[in-house]
């Protein structure tokens, strides 16, 4: 199973856009990881205005952190994360500087 937590700043990713965004990201997971990776699940956490800052200023940064199946090689992981970031930015209008995305598997030792 593929699972991602999407932590977004209030007002940065409209609630009505989230299902479309989740579908696009799930499509990326299917394309890169294959059907054997299982279904993708996305949860959303909204950071209220005034609670998220970067460099002393209100943040627009979204954090997408995930867990993917064991044994994902580096090239595949990089392709997955790059493709997910591209879709996120395309659909939300965010820049790459407004997104942190990561994925780990059970074999990750760090």
90 vs 9: CA distance, rounded Å: 18
| pLDDT of residue 110 exceeding 80 | no
Each residue of 4-28: pLDDT tens digit?
999 999 999 999 999 999 999 999 9
Domain assignment present for 10 = yes
Domain assignment present for 82 = yes
Q: State if pTM tops 0.85.
A: yes
Domain assignment present for 96 = yes
- What's the confidence (pLDDT) of residue 5? 96
Count of domains observed in the chain: 1
50 vs 109: CA distance, rounded Å: 34
Please tell me the chain's helix, strand, coil percentages from 3-state DSSP, rounded to the nearest 5. 35, 30, 35
Upper half-sphere CA count for residue 67 (Cβ side, 13 Å): 8
CATH code where residue 48 lies: 3.30.429.10
Domain assignment present for 109 = no
Range of the domain at 16: 2-104
- What's the confidence (pLDDT) of residue 32? 94
């Amino acid at each position: 199973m593929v699972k991602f937590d999407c932590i977004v700043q209030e007002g940065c990713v409209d609630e009505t856009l989230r299902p479309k965004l989740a579908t696009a990201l799930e499509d990326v997971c299917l394309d890169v990881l294959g059907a054997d990776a299982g279904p993708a699940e996305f949860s959303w956490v909204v950071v209220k205005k005034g609670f998220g800052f970067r460099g002393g200023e209100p943040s627009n940064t979204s954090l997408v952190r995930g867990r993917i199946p064991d044994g994902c090689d580096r090239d595949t992981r990089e392709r997955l994360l790059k493709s997910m970031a591209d879709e996120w930015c395309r659909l939300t209008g965010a820049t790459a500087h407004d997104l942190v995305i990561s994925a780990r598997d059970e074999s990750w030792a760090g």
